[in-house]
Amino acid sequence: MTQAVENVTELDAMVIGVGVAGLYQLHRFREMGLKVRAYDTATGVGGTWYWNRYPGARFDSQVEIYQYWFDEELYKSWKPSERFPGQPETEQWMNHVADRLDLKKDIQFSTRIESAKYDEKTGRWDVVTDDGEKINTQYLVSCCGMLSAPLDNRFPGQQSFKGEIHHTGLWPKGGVDLKGKRVAVIGTGATGIQVIQTIAPEVGSMKVFVRTPQYAIPMKNPKYSDEDWSYWSSRFNELKERVPTTFAGFDYDFYDKAWADCTDEERKEVLEERWEEGSLALWLASFPEMFFDEEISEVVSEFVRGKMRARLGNDEKLCDLLIPGPDDYGFGTHRVPLEHKYLEVYLQDNVETINCKSTPIEEIVPEGIKTADGVIHEVDAIILAVGFDAGSGALSRINIRGRDDRSLKDQWQQEIRTAMGLQIHGYPNLFTTGAPLAPSAALCNMTTCLQYQVDWITDCIGYANNNGKKVIEASKKVEDDWVRHHDEVAAETLVVKTDSWYMGSNVEGKPRRLLSYIGGVGNYHSKCDEVAKSGYPGFDIA
């Protein structure tokens, strides 16, 4: 496929990352007959589902919709074991996809892309890998992931720790033996919750460092039989049509009656019904008003709090620490986690909570974790469930230089901007998936959004090729218009009033902007479709 010219690999298109997006992008480019190659730091495919091997890792999108929609036979050829399969099964599924499409022969594993520089004379990108390989490509597509830049060097003194310390997003392939050990878990977001509930039965003791409590929904995860998968397979076309049109790219959507038009009983009934679903339906398929209206948000939040309090036996200290209060933030303004017997873990005698708001972590010392009150919490292992530099992190870690040698990292340190999450003004022929300002991270079921973005990018490049053009760049106006629209939609919501990784506030100095588009997946698709149908107005195609 590739051709070495003076030790440079010449390509029509290059894909960075082989998760959900990268695999599909590689497939689409190959179908177009382009000379294409994909690269990934990992030793295998899967992206998120390759790296996140921590105990209890699984997704919160139901498996019947966390799918590819371009091939019905592919859908039918894999039989998931349960509604929310764990990481090992999802990684196997991604390998199944890659093998079925024979993609691996065009993927270079164990290779980090270090830099990419746009050459204005040729309209092509010069890319360099960590082992010095040079690649020259016309189109560069980032499928680097929204949640793929782990904040692994988070606390001073980490290197001094005598025991084992692991970030959940870089979990060792061979696993970590935690049996009988004194373990610290830092972080109680979606990942922390999964880890805590999973390792609780095996560790000797556990100290959980809690800074931000979470509203959590109990997951219902029934096993799927062959008959179950036949049922979902029989609905393939219906689901394929439906998911791209809903608010969050799931099969469910908001309740069709406004909050104001419902009686208290009806509201309660809707919330109870969604709660019983054991999925993200309470968040993404009940009342959209909870995103906008503080009073309604408080009613829904209190509904969830009540459920959580009961499970904590109304223990005042635990409730205060583990349940967000009215002054913290409203339900759904953070990524909502699903859990299984998570809260009950805190009722175990060998589990201790440390309040990181009142006593923040100061540093890691050889024996364990030192908090601001001078206490050293001695442990054998530390699990960093502290998340990612979301949205912009993976791309910023590559030295990307566009027209006039502008640096993407430097620009995004000032302001994070994209045109529909698909291109960035000043970086011709660079396309992005899973990038800031496109719907993502549970505000979109990611397989829905990523496939759409790959299709849009492929069609755009196809359009240029068919018209004998070689360079595509979003104009400043297109980007400005999108950023304005994105911000206007976001400003209406309570999400922007809350500190969270959605807003970039988990990374010091990161400019504040909602990283995911929150105008709805259906709406996003219509807007992007309109651009494509109208011949890409506002995109400079030369």
Ligand X SMILES: Cc1cc2nc3c(=O)[nH]c(=O)nc-3n(C[C@H](O)[C@H](O)[C@H](O)COP(=O)(O)OP(=O)(O)OC[C@H]3O[C@@H](n4cnc5c(N)ncnc54)[C@H](O)[C@@H]3O)c2cc1C
Query: Which residues contribute to the site for ligand X (CB under 6 A)?
Result: 16-17, 19-22, 39-42, 47-48, 50, 52, 57, 59-61, 112-113, 143-148, 191, 394, 398, 433-434, 441-442, 445-446, 450
Considering beta carbons, is residue 371 or 458 the nearer one to ligand X?
Answer: 458
Q: How far is the CB of 45 from ligand X (least distance, A)?
A: 8
Q: How far is the CB of 483 from ligand X (least distance, A)?
A: 21
Residue 430 pairs in a beta bridge with 140
Considering beta carbons, is residue 185 or 321 the nearer one to ligand X?
Answer: 185
Considering beta carbons, is residue 382 or 441 the nearer one to ligand X?
Answer: 441
Candidates 277, 290, 243; CA nearest to 439 is: 243
Considering beta carbons, is residue 195 or 461 the nearer one to ligand X?
Answer: 195
Exposure string over 150-180, b if 16+ CB within 10 A, otherwise e: bbeebbeeeeebebbbbbbbebeeeebebee
Q: If you compute the radius of gyration of the chain from its CA atoms, what whole number of angstroms results?
A: 23
CB 424 within 8 Å of CB 418: yes
> Distance of CA 22 to CAs 3, 16, 458, 479, 520, Å?
21, 7, 12, 24, 23
Considering beta carbons, is residue 197 or 371 the nearer one to ligand X?
Answer: 197
Strands across the sheet with 205-210, in order? 164-167, 381-384, 182-186, 205-210, 351-355
Considering beta carbons, is residue 112 or 406 the nearer one to ligand X?
Answer: 112
Return d(Cα 340, Cα 321) in angstroms, integer.
19
From the DSSP assignment, how many helices (H) and strands (E) are in the chain? 17, 21
Considering beta carbons, is residue 297 or 433 the nearer one to ligand X?
Answer: 433
Considering beta carbons, is residue 41 or 221 the nearer one to ligand X?
Answer: 41
Q: How far is the CB of 521 from ligand X (least distance, A)?
A: 11
Q: How far is the CB of 446 from ligand X (least distance, A)?
A: 3
Considering beta carbons, is residue 168 or 498 the nearer one to ligand X?
Answer: 168
20-32 vs 87-100: helix crossing angle, rounded to 10: 10
Q: How far is the CB of 535 from ligand X (least distance, A)?
A: 28
Candidates 36, 58, 38; CA nearest to 48 is: 58
Q: How far is the CB of 96 from ligand X (least distance, A)?
A: 15
Considering beta carbons, is residue 145 or 428 the nearer one to ligand X?
Answer: 145
Candidates 534, 446, 420; CA nearest to 244 is: 446
Q: How far is the CB of 75 from ligand X (least distance, A)?
A: 17
Considering beta carbons, is residue 271 or 398 the nearer one to ligand X?
Answer: 398
Q: How far is the CB of 328 from ligand X (least distance, A)?
A: 23
SS (H, E, C) 49-75: HHHCCCCCCECCCCCCCCCCCCCHHHH
Residue with tokens 């997704």: 59
Q: How far is the CB of 99 from ligand X (least distance, A)?
A: 17
Q: How far is the CB of 525 from ligand X (least distance, A)?
A: 16
Return the beta strands (E) in 58-176 as ranges.
107-108, 113-119, 124-129, 134-142, 164-167
**Contacts of 394-397 spanning 24+ positions with Cβ under 8 A:** 394/17, 394/142, 394/144, 394/145, 394/148, 394/149, 395/142, 395/144, 395/432, 395/435, 396/149, 397/149
Q: Which amino acid is at 336?
A: V
Candidates 384, 393, 388, 397; CA nearest to 171 is: 384
Tokens of 316: 């005042």
Considering beta carbons, is residue 36 or 147 the nearer one to ligand X?
Answer: 147
Run of H or E including 432: strand 430-432
3-state secondary structure of 452: helix
Run of H or E including 372: none
Q: How far is the CB of 70 from ligand X (least distance, A)?
A: 15
Q: How far is the CB of 162 from ligand X (least distance, A)?
A: 28
